[in-house]
Structure 1
Amino acid sequence: MSTSLFDSATRHLPTALDFLRRLVAINSFTANAAGVDEVAAVTAAAFAPLGFEASLTPCTTPGTGHHLFLTHRGSGGAPIVLVTHSDTVFPPEEEQQNDFKWDERPEEGRIYGPGTVDNKGGTALIWLILQVLRDAAPDVFERTHWLVAANAAEEIVGADFGEATAALCNGKARAVLVFEGGPVDGRNWHIVTSRKGRSTWKLCAEGKAAHAGSKHHEGINAIDALARVLPDIAALTNAAEERTVNIGMIHGGTVVNRVPHEAVAEWECRATAPAALEQADEFFASLSGTASNGAKLTAECTGHTDAWPGGGDSETLFRLWHEAAAQMSLTALSVPRGGLSDANHLWKLAPTLDGLGPYGNNAHCSERAADGSKLPEYVEPASFVPKAVMNALALLKLVTAPS
């Protein structure tokens, strides 16, 4: 069986890469709704010959495109959800400025371009896997209920895509498989089995303006008020609790000869364990009140994404991928990841795995330095066939196992 899977994947790889090339040619910055929808249309057309019906759901974030759902109902039952996204982080102006486009370099074993690994490469790999399954196990492919779910705005990690997907599944799936890029370490293929949760916060300080020379004593310095509490916020980073705090933005004041009457700091906190994130959030909320210099402090939680804790059923699901890799004389490693993905919003539907996409690097980077110190996003096309075969083998194990 694995030989026929390899043969099929190798035969379909040029078509998969051509599909990827067409996707990469379309700017699909999250705020470019027309581009995101064009990617969705090209994707739907590619999956139609496999028997997938397309439907679109508007993203609730203003100015964004439509979530794409491709359904092959098979014999019914809970679907296997294959997750990708249509958007990228690159505005069209940035792509033009950096001449960032499809750039195939066989001598390097890489294809550079926007979305090649995050996550148009994942979309192309899903297509390749399904082609392989239809070739090698047509009865299994046809009777399986597949749902390909493509987020229109994954890069801003909203909750509505997860809600729309859950509604199509009636709140239950057989498995959730997320095709973000998957690192490779020698013959070890990383599969993500948990992700941290995140909260984002804003702290506003309201002071009192005054002349910095003649009336300094009458002022209340809002920047000073923030400076007194920021070390306590940063101190909540705790390696033992797998929690990080990143103060990412600070601004305040207007000119140096005026006591600043307002200042704002923003940060994010990430943690693996929900309790560790909750503990930090309680402290952040407690910052509202009066600072020691008399300024008024107001703390506001601006966003929250639950952790995907992994373990349990997801580790059981991972074992199927571990067995599939072993059949190929490879090793699949179960790894946590600190970044967010759609897995954070979908894992409650079913056992979940992430990082199932092709191998590449430098996601979210469009710059190339002459000295090689900076390289743009790329995918390694040689990773498609082994990753397609590994996923196909594991999916066959999943589909033919007792429900």
Structure 2
Amino acid sequence: MKPLEHLQPQLPAILKDLEAIVTLEAPSYDLAGLDRVARWIAQHFSPFGPLEREETPNGPLLRVSLQGSGRKVLVLCHFDTVHPVGAFKEPWKVEGDRAYGPGIYDMKGNIVQLLWALRTNQALGLGRPQLELLFTPDEEVGSMASRPAIESAALRSDLVLVLEAPMGNGDLKVARKGVGQYRLTAHGKPAHQGVEPEKGINAIVELAHQIPKIVAMQDWDKGTTLGPNVIKGGTTSNVVAALATVDIDVRVWTMAEAERVEREIRALQPVLPGATLSVEGGLNRPPMEPTPASTKLFEMAQRIGAEVGLQLGPGRVGGGSDGNFTAALGIPTLDGLGLFGEAAHQLTENVYIPQIPARIALLCGILDELSRG
């Protein structure tokens, strides 16, 4: 029996597992909620191999090692969500052919997908590679506590599979933009705005000179964007503003562009006499750039997808994931292997139920083929 045939009658049981993990609400930094999900993961995945739990400031990180043959494969999942507890009036709802809930698409549903792929391959006697499963608690807030473990595990692996959500049309993800966060601070001098404004140096005015320079660093043809999206400054309206900051979101497809933007931001010079500038931050997720090896990995997944009725293309997306870290180390990485759905980070976040068996079967086939080298 093929995986898809095995999985289709299992759909009610799959949905029960999906409901169980989705209703354990776990926003980033909610240590109690994250602990509940970690315990659920440990209960369901520990039968497959030794499980280690590491406590981090952002919540528990779980690692499961599975014996197998062929390639050494790292599978990345995260279990934190962006939704505060109670944001969904109903944390689980099935309506028509969609199942709704906090983090169901990004990406708790994909943890269930992995669970059922392992169960299915075991039940059908299919192969699996040498697997390291890493479940992290802080992807939605930058993976600061998890990044060392992710990179260390990647360096032990031949390739990486990332169970993030696919593209909106179902395509896999072969490229992601790098993400940077900068803060530019203008330092001026306070003075009484009514009595002696000429003795002050207005930091807000200095930033007004700098922001057009920041926007001019964009390169639309190369997909490089800079968003000066948060600005703060001053104290009261009758005091010349002595301090002002602007937070800048940077997105780039290539490290070459990341390095150019870094140089140009650091090279900014003040315009107002006496004003000074300081820069904090930098690139926090390097770009996930396609390589011949990652392209070959995608082509394998595309072929297996066609066998279960999925037409998969090579998607490119502006948002980052933990796959950015592993790809930057030169480890072939394929992202977007999760369940098909829509509305990530929204109160209508959902997965498309009829395609769940095929998406699990896709992962079954990938694991089986990787077990043969």
- Shorter-chain TM-score: which interval? over 0.9
- Aligned partners of 1:30 and 1:155 also within 8 Å: yes
Equivalent runs, 1:181-330 vs 2, <5 Å: 181-183=165-167, 185=169, 189-287=170-268, 289-330=269-310
- Give the RMSD, CA atoms, in angstroms: 2.0
Query: Which residue does 2:132 correspond to in 1?
Result: 147
Query: Which residue does 1:111 correspond to in 2?
Result: 99
Give yes or no for the alignment of 1:102 onto 2:92.
yes
Q: In structure 2, how many angstroms separate the alpha carbons of the residues matched to 1:223 and 1:22?
A: 50
1:341 corresponds, among 284, 307, 321, to: 321
Give yes or no for the alignment of 1:52 onto 2:49.
yes
1:227-255 Cα shifts (integer Å, max 9, x gaps): 00101101222121121111121011122
In the TM superposition, residue 131 of structure 1 has moved relative to its aligned partner by 1.7
- Aligned partners of 1:173 and 1:349 also within 8 Å: no
SS in 2 for 1:316: helix
1:174 corresponds, among 150, 154, 158, to: 158
In the TM superposition, residue 213 of structure 1 has moved relative to its aligned partner by 2.0
Query: Which residue does 1:391 correspond to in 2?
Result: 363
- Aligned partners of 2:206 and 2:270 also within 8 Å: no
Equivalent runs, 1:18-57 vs 2, <5 Å: 18-49=16-47, 51-57=48-54
Percent identity between the aligned chains?
27
- Aligned partners of 1:70 and 1:148 also within 8 Å: yes
- Aligned partners of 2:24 and 2:37 also within 8 Å: yes
User: TM-score, length-normalised on structure 1?
Assistant: 0.87
- Aligned partners of 2:228 and 2:248 also within 8 Å: yes
Q: In structure 2, how many angstroms separate the alpha carbons of the residues matched to 1:309 and 1:90?
A: 30
Q: In structure 2, how many angstroms separate the alpha carbons of the residues matched to 1:10 and 1:128?
A: 12
Query: Which residue does 2:119 correspond to in 1?
Result: 131
Q: In structure 1, how many angstroms separate the alpha carbons of the residues matched to 2:350 and 2:308?
A: 25
1:353 corresponds, among 334, 349, 353, to: 334
SS in 2 for 1:357: coil
Q: In structure 1, how many angstroms separate the alpha carbons of the residues matched to 2:13 and 2:309?
A: 27
- Aligned partners of 1:166 and 1:349 also within 8 Å: no
Q: In structure 2, how many angstroms separate the alpha carbons of the residues matched to 1:54 and 1:349?
A: 27
Q: In structure 2, how many angstroms separate the alpha carbons of the residues matched to 1:293 and 1:260?
A: 15
Change (3 A) 1:53 1:201: same
Letter in 2 for 1:254: T
1:163 corresponds, among 132, 141, 148, to: 148
Instruction: Give unmatched runs, 5+ long, in structure 1.
Output: 367-375
Instruction: Give unmatched runs, 5+ long, in structure 2.
Output: none
